[in-house]
Amino acid sequence: MEFADLIKISRIDNVRVRRAGKPCIEATVAVTGHHLIISSSDTKDSTDREMWLLHRGILSVSKETESNRSGTLLLKYKDMRVFNLDIIGQDCLTALTTSLQALSNVEEQTSSYPFFYNPGFKGLEDGWCLFRPEEEYCKLIKGAESTWRVSRVNHEFSVCATYGKLLIVPTNLTDSQILTVAKHRIGGRFPVPCYLHNVKNNSIPLVRGSYTVAGWRNGEDEKLMAGIRGSNRKGFIICIHHDKIKMAGGKSEYDTVYAQWKRVNLRLPSLSELRESLNNLSAACNDPGNDKWISKLASAHWLAHVKDVLNAACLAAQLIEKENAPVVVIEQEAADLSLILVSLAQIILNPDSRTLHGLEALIERDWIQGGYKFWTRHGSSSPDRETSPVFLLFLDAVFQIYTQFPYSFEFTDRLLVVLGDHSFSSPFGTFLSDCEKERCSYSVREQTVSLWSYLNQVEILSSMLNSLYIPNNSVIWPSVAPMSIILWTSYYLRWVQDQNNYTYERRKITEIIERNKTAKLQALRLRRELQELQDEALSLGLLCTEDTERRDSDNSVQT
Amino acid sequence: MKMEHIATPKVENVHLLDNINPRNSTVGTLYITTTHLIFVSPEDKEELWILHMHISSVDKLPLTTSGSPVRIQCSNFRVVTFMVNRDRDAQDIYTSLAQLSKPSSLEDLYCFQYRAKNDLPQPTGWTFFELSAEFQRQGVHSKHWTPCSLNNEYRLCPTYPRLLMVPSSASTLIVQGSAKFRSKGRLPVLTYYHAQTSAALLRCAQPLSGIKGRSSEDEQFINCILESNTASKFLYIVDTRPKINAMYNRAAGKGYEAEAFYPNTKFVFKGIENIHIMRDSLSKLVETCELKTETIQLFLQGLEQSGWLKHIKAVLEASIFIAESLLNGISVVVHCSDGWDRTSQTCAIAQILIDPFYRTIQVVYVLILILILTLILIKYNLFKYCSGDPKEVSPIFTQFIDATWQILTQFPQAFQFNAKYLLTIHDHVYSCQFGTFLGNCAKDREDYRLAERTYSLWGHLTNTADEFINPLFDSSSKPDILNPSTSPQNIHFWRGFYCRFEVGTHPREPIIDLLTLTQLHTASLEDHAKHLSKRVDGLRSLISSAKASGAVKKFLPSVVTGTKSSTEETESELDKVEKRFVDLKTALVEKCQSSKILELFNLLGDLEDCSPYLTLSVGSPVVYSLHRKRSFEPLSSPSEIPLTLDQIQQEISSVAIFWETRRECSDCSCGIKISYSVPVKNCTSCGRLFCERCMHRRRVLPGHALAFNNSDGRRRSSNISQSSLASLITGSGSPSPRSSLNIPVSPVKFIQMRTYPVCSNCYRDTSSEQ
């Protein structure tokens, strides 16, 4: 496809750019195949001088005509930015609007920016090779090889189209039995373990899977559940619902068939609720002067959703850590909120997932291999039922835990912001496609650059490291009280609020910690030096201990 | 005496209910002392201390099957519920507390009984602030402004201090006329003078324009104010009330100035609500915080409905308006109804915004500001402390603290103190442990002879200054004026204040606490390193000179004899110093009492001359600590070598390089469990972690006697910790950007000596060695 056909106008001069919380600027707007470039010379802020905005990041384009001569283009981006472009000339305005609408709606993944991006850096390691499922899964089941094995049954994506090639399954099931189980589950997404938690030499699995296809019993499925339960007396099934009706009629086969399992029903926000919620939050955030800010924040419900998922994750973690019971999280398709739940539970339980590499591995395992529809949920611009900021909700919940335990994370919330942004629009291929199968068919790994290659460069990495980090090997329990859940200002309000304080604070913290380290080293060095000198002086007889001194003075008294 | 109020001093088997989940509880024993309510739970290793004065209300809730609940609400937003098994005990507790928390007479107040645990002398802090010195510091132009003696006997206005600054051009007649025209006689007087623009900030009460219509004296007086600032053609009169309130007042005979009668003035309403609305708003906020099974929705709605953040925003906006006008060289006259609530708030915050001096902790002068506030502000304290009219109680001060915090969060680099400082001050406004906030005006304070009979909070705070230093403070960034954003998105709910005691809701790993401790640690290590390198140099030169002379063996006896003679010398010297010190101390106390601050500083200059053996605590000019014995050590110049191996060893081991962290430590030595909500401190000597209550000792690092460089004349600085001190306390070492500092800020800085917190064990060890 030719982008040139979609670009109706490539450049407009004298555009007035209005944004909430920032002064107006005069700018020139240029449109390319993948970017909208807003450049301006009359601004003091260096970041405003040239803004490259990926079309993929556009949430909505709409125009308001003020008069025959001029009009306003309202441009909303998925990263919460809102631009008002005052454009003189009806033709220009219409041309720009249609161009941007068309460009942001290009649905072919292969024509998206990652396939054209040429990195200006040479990464030390290729991000695509950083997390090989083989190694990751072996690491995961280490020590529990008697109960779990890595299966290649999905090598051709025939068992489950949206799972990765490799899967962890209980050892009591053969590959052909797995095939039967998959048919019994919606989308073939049968329960797979995400994490094994070690409590008292016993590894307790955290599992996610989709609902069973209703109707009949399936012996293999029961066997799988038994395999997950292992030697544990009981297990818990956390059942995620999105609506009240199902909750009320929640008569499920589980209660009778899986008697060893206790079912917990949780109502969590649906995809459309989340989408609505973020839109409302975005509207409130981009209206800085509004006196009704707090009630708008309340009615956006976003914080309530954050609290809900945190609460649910805490419940899952608690069942594992305190009750030592296996937990299976089930959801209609097990591709959205169940991912949040299991990932958050890992952040709470697993100290490794609080490191930089650990978080990347977690995202790679549970979200990318796990088949989160990044392209459908985040990449697409069409405001249909399928888009939803699920991954962002996860990042926000991680942020909440991070603010409550700022010494327990190797990274700062800066990393979370970057991840959030790249999930919506990115020059990198990591968050491209909906599942592994798609990724393979588009040769994403071969043709695009991995986000991890970019992030793991030393200078980028160092800007995200938390200088306060002290490895914490224990489980961390976040508070979910209403006043403990705060708005993630460095994400949602970063465009309307001055972020200088934030950067200043991080810099100062690093300074203080570094200075302390230097002081410790210096004191140690001087002590060693003094010790050596003292030994030398002692051997020369220049120093005496108190005993010899006393003896000497006694002698002098006697004489 | 209070003893008679205590019906039951001790009740066992009391359950302290968890506020979030009342089914969780802690079992322990409840003690009622004359000053505190103490709950001790040996099982959970927890202790809870509540000062009676902090209790704002006690309620006996309806009986339940598990016992009789008693609910206590405190003015620092703590809420606790005790479940008492026997109803009679509960009744006893209820009546005792009800009486103890509302003393019937002033003499029963805690501050008249309170004696400092450490060796802090009583007069410390009472003299830190003097109005005249403060005006001098501000650089008030003596040509335009003059002290007025009319209020020397509190005749002109009993609620104003003795010293009033008025325009020089205003005659006595005009001043008196203006006072008559103003409510409660509170005429416009100078609060702050902005030296760069010579704009002045004045405060007064509303005019009695409703009855008298107009007063030519008052109009002339305003004109005198205008003329005192030649740079501007007009001045602002700011009425902080909503217009409707002002009009209502007008009907009652008071009101506001008519622009027509006051030429060249611009009149502005700022719409801050009155104390009754503020009180309701705060109580709604507190209710919201106390909701148990609430959702975020309910919490946010409650927050919105309380309107508290909106009021904070209004106060900030009015303050910013004042500060900006001053910066633009326009004088401002501020009033509300009586000029003591909203006026004090906005004036004080405007000054914080405009003058970096008020954002420092340096020698506690920052709080002058608050003192100014109290000097001229009626805080209804007496009504509050003793059982009085609840209608007059108002959260004005709480609001002031909150508004200051809002600025602090927006400009962390501009403030030398941290949020804990604000919290501590707020606590003590209600604690009544110190006389500082007692009484409603200067006259009250003199009448009760508070300066002689009670301790000052400022003295107490300076003594523990390092807890209150904001680690994010950057002395190099000193913007002329802070311009906080008042967008509702930037006005935050202060969880650390209103939910302070709901420990579960706070971050488990507070950043600021860690940074504060780290900075203290760094300072102690840097001091230590300096001392070590001195020792290294000394030893090295000793070795090399010994090697050069080749008389290694012969050298030994001479060193020993040298030691002895120098010790003798030192001892005689010590006696001399001791005597001098005692003399000076007496003189100091006298001066302190007579509150002649300038003389005091001269005296401190003298003190400096003899101070090789004098330890002064950080930040306080007058804490001539009795700990000085701990620092008795011969002056060690590089030529004077540490004499024994043990001494070197002791010096080496006197400072901990590695500090225990919260994660490594479960219990304090006193048996209290160190949960994340317990404030902690590290001992600089052994590095172990203790709860704050176990760490009230301080000492100078061994081998760090205060030494002065005698060569550079009058102003000598301690060669030990000056730089680290400067970086920690003042940053650049310059206390204020003003060049016109002619009052005693600079001398004080030079006699500071860094002391560090140590645990009782290490303290005992070092003191026994001396």
**ipTM field:** 0.89
Output the pLDDT for position A556: 47
Query: Where are the extended beta strands (E) located within B617-749?
Result: 680-682, 689-691, 697-699
Q: Report the run of H or E that residue B186 belongs to, with start and end.
A: none
Reply yes or no on whether the pLDDT at B712 is more than 50.
no
pLDDT digits (tens, 9 = 90+) for A488-504: 999 999 998 888 888 88
What string of DSSP letters covers A363-422? IIIIIIITT--HIIIII--S-STT---HHHHHHHHHHHHHHH-TTS-SB-HHHHHHHHHH
Output the pLDDT for position B154: 81
3-state DSSP assignment of residue A181: helix
B positions 516-545 inside 8 Å of A (CB): 518-519, 521-522, 525-526, 528-529, 532-533, 535-536, 539-540, 542-543
Q: Which chain A residue's Cα is nearest to B535? A: A530
- Calculated CA dihedral for residues A222, A225, A227, A233, nearest 10 degrees: -110
Reply yes or no on whether the pLDDT at B535 is more than 60.
yes
Reply yes or no on whether the pLDDT at A384 is more than 90.
no
Q: Which residue among B157, B204, B289, B336 is the active-site one? A: B336
Q: How close does chain A come to B646, measured CA to CA in Å?
A: 6
CB A269 within 8 A of CB A305: yes
Residue type at B309? L
Task: Please give the residue that has the higher pLDDT: either B119 or A293.
Answer: A293
CB B222 within 8 A of CB B265: yes
Output the pLDDT for position B582: 58
Residue A108's pLDDT band, with cuts at 50, 70 and 90, is confident
Q: What mean pLDDT is predicted for residues A533-546? A: 74
Q: A473 at the B interface (CB within 8 A)?
A: no
Question: Which residues is A73 bridged to in the sheet?
Answer: A63, A85
Residue B478's pLDDT band, with cuts at 50, 70 and 90, is low
Output the pLDDT for position A341: 95
Closest CA to B349 of B411, B303, B293: B411
Residue B18's pLDDT band, with cuts at 50, 70 and 90, is confident
pLDDT digits (tens, 9 = 90+) for A365-375: 999 999 999 99
pLDDT digits (tens, 9 = 90+) for A320-365: 999 999 999 999 888 899 999 999 999 999 999 999 999 999 999 9
Q: How many helices (H) and strands (E) does chain B have?
A: 25, 18
Reply yes or no on whether the pLDDT at B588 is more than 70.
no
In whole angstroms, how large is the CA radius of gyration of chain B? 28
**DSSP tag of A213:** P
Is the CA virtual torsion A164, A168, A174, A178 positive or negative?
negative
Q: How many helices (H) and strands (E) does chain A have?
A: 22, 14
Q: What mean pLDDT is predicted for residues A528-533? A: 88
Q: What is the mean pLDDT of chain B?
A: 74
- What's the half-sphere exposure (Cβ side, CA atoms, 13 Å) at A369? 24
Q: For residue A289, what are the contacts with CB-CB under 8 A and spacing of at least 6? A: B487, B488
**Cβ contact, residue pair B507, A496, below 8 Å:** no
What distance in Å separates the CA atoms of residue A358 and residue A463, rounded to the nearest whole number?
Answer: 17
Output the pLDDT for position A30: 93
- What is the pairing mode between strands A22-31 and A11-19? antiparallel
Reply yes or no on whether the pLDDT at A546 is more than 70.
no
Reply yes or no on whether the pLDDT at B390 is more than 60.
no
Q: How close does chain B come to A244, measured CA to CA in Å?
A: 18
Q: Report the run of H or E that residue B173 belongs to, with start and end.
A: helix B172-181
Residues from chain B that touch A552, judged by Cβ atoms under 8 A, are 557, 560
Top residue of B310, B312, B508 to mutate, by most chain A CBs within 10 Å, is B508
Closest CA to B536 of B638, B439, B624, B385: B638
Question: Which residues is B32 bridged to in the sheet?
Answer: B37
The residue whose two tokens read 């390319």 is: A32
Count the neighbouring beta carbons within 10 Å of the beta carbon of residue A40.
17
Output the pLDDT for position B626: 30
Highest mean pLDDT among A53-62, B42-51, B351-360, B376-385: A53-62
pLDDT digits (tens, 9 = 90+) for B163-213: 888 898 888 888 888 888 888 888 888 888 888 888 998 888 888 887 777
Q: What percent of chain B has a predicted confidence (pLDDT) above 70? A: 71
What distance in Å separates the CA atoms of residue A449 and residue A429, rounded to the nearest whole number?
Answer: 6
Q: What mean pLDDT is predicted for residues A21-42? A: 89
Q: What does the block give as tokens for B658? A: 């590695």
Task: Please give the residue that has the higher pLDDT: either B336 or A546.
Answer: B336
3-state DSSP assignment of residue A180: helix
Residues from chain B that touch A403, judged by Cβ atoms under 8 A, are 507
| Interface size between A and B, measured as CB pairs under 8 A | 204
The residue whose two tokens read 């920016």 is: A113
What distance in Å separates the CA atoms of residue B389 and residue B609, rounded to the nearest whole number?
Answer: 54
Q: How close does chain B come to A406, measured CA to CA in Å?
A: 6
Output the pLDDT for position A439: 92
Residue B237's pLDDT band, with cuts at 50, 70 and 90, is very high
Active site annotation includes B336 = yes
Reply yes or no on whether the pLDDT at A173 is more than 80.
yes
Residues from chain A that touch B535, judged by Cβ atoms under 8 A, are 530
pTM: 0.86
CB B413 within 8 A of CB B477: yes
pLDDT digits (tens, 9 = 90+) for A398-439: 999 999 999 999 999 999 999 999 999 999 999 988 899 999
Residue type at A104? S
**DSSP tag of B728:** I
CB B473 within 8 A of CB B413: yes
What distance in Å separates the CA atoms of residue A465 and residue A140, rounded to the nearest whole number?
Answer: 25
Question: Which residues is B237 bridged to in the sheet?
Answer: B267, B333
Closest CA to B254 of B214, B207, B188: B207
Residues from chain B that touch A488, judged by Cβ atoms under 8 A, are none
Residues from chain A that touch B514, judged by Cβ atoms under 8 A, are 407, 468
Q: What mean pLDDT is predicted for residues B483-512? A: 87
Output the pLDDT for position B446: 73
What string of DSSP letters covers B675-690? -TTS-EEE-TTT--EE
Reply yes or no on whether the pLDDT at B141 is more than 90.
no
Q: What does the block give as tokens for A48? A: 């405003």
Q: What mean pLDDT is predicted for residues B113-129? A: 68
What distance in Å separates the CA atoms of residue A530 and residue B649, rounded to the nearest whole number?
Answer: 10
Q: What mean pLDDT is predicted for residues B71-90? A: 89
Output the pLDDT for position A512: 93
Q: What does the block give as tokens for B252? A: 């009652």
Q: A557 at the B interface (CB within 8 A)?
A: no
Both ends of chain B: CA-CA distance in Å? 42
Output the pLDDT for position B359: 80
Q: How close does chain A come to B400, measured CA to CA in Å?
A: 21
Q: What is the widest separation between alpha-carbon atoms in chain B?
A: 100
pLDDT digits (tens, 9 = 90+) for A178-217: 998 998 888 899 999 999 998 878 889 999 999 888 766 7
Q: For residue B656, what are the contacts with CB-CB under 8 A and spacing of at least 6? A: B682, B683, B684, B685, B686, B687, B688
Q: What mean pLDDT is predicted for residues B497-505? A: 84
Residue B717's pLDDT band, with cuts at 50, 70 and 90, is very low
**Cβ contact, residue pair A512, B522, below 8 Å:** yes
Q: Which chain A residue's Cα is nearest to B505? A: A484
CA angle B615, B436, B459 (to 5 degrees): 5
The residue whose two tokens read 């203290």 is: B520
Question: Which residues is A63 bridged to in the sheet?
Answer: A73
3-state DSSP assignment of residue B268: strand
CA angle B410, B414, B417 (to 5 degrees): 95
Reply yes or no on whether the pLDDT at A115 is more than 70.
yes
B positions 304-363 inside 8 Å of A (CB): 304, 309-310
- What's the half-sphere exposure (Cβ side, CA atoms, 13 Å) at B105? 6
Output the pLDDT for position B384: 42
Burial of A106: CB neighbours in 10 Å, binned 0-12, 13-18, 19+: middle
Reply yes or no on whether the pLDDT at B556 is more than 50.
no
**Cβ contact, residue pair B644, A541, below 8 Å:** no
CB A300 within 8 A of CB A178: no
Q: B52 at the A interface (CB within 8 A)?
A: no
What distance in Å separates the CA atoms of residue B706 and residue B690, rounded to the nearest whole number?
Answer: 28
Residue by residue, what is the 3-state secondary structure of A284-315?
A: HHCCCCCCCHHHHHHHHCHHHHHHHHHHHHHH
**Cβ contact, residue pair A543, B645, below 8 Å:** yes
What string of DSSP letters covers A16-47? EEEETTEEEEEEEEEE-SSEEEEE-SS-S-GG
Q: Which of B134-143, B541-550, B698-707 has the lowest mean pLDDT?
A: B698-707
Which of A493, A526, A538 comes nearest B536 by C-beta? A526
Residue B674's pLDDT band, with cuts at 50, 70 and 90, is confident
Highest mean pLDDT among A266-280, B187-201, B278-292, B618-632: A266-280
Integer CA distances (angstroms), B660 to A64, A410, B250, B689, B705, in order: 63, 20, 64, 6, 27
Output the pLDDT for position B629: 30
B positions 463-492 inside 8 Å of A (CB): 471-472, 474, 485, 487-490
Residue B120's pLDDT band, with cuts at 50, 70 and 90, is low
Which of A285, A304, A527 comes nearest B532 by C-beta? A527
pLDDT digits (tens, 9 = 90+) for A261-286: 888 888 999 998 999 999 999 999 99
**Cβ contact, residue pair B540, A533, below 8 Å:** yes
Q: Which of B489-493, B498-502, B645-649 has the lowest mean pLDDT?
A: B645-649
A positions 282-301 inside 8 Å of B (CB): 285, 288-295, 297-298, 301
Q: For residue A134, what are the contacts with CB-CB under 8 A and spacing of at least 6? A: A150, A166
Q: Which of A174-183, A436-445, B305-314, B541-550 has the lowest mean pLDDT?
A: B541-550
Residues from chain B that touch A550, judged by Cβ atoms under 8 A, are none
Output the pLDDT for position B479: 67
CB B36 within 8 A of CB B50: yes
Closest CA to A416 of A399, A431, A393: A399
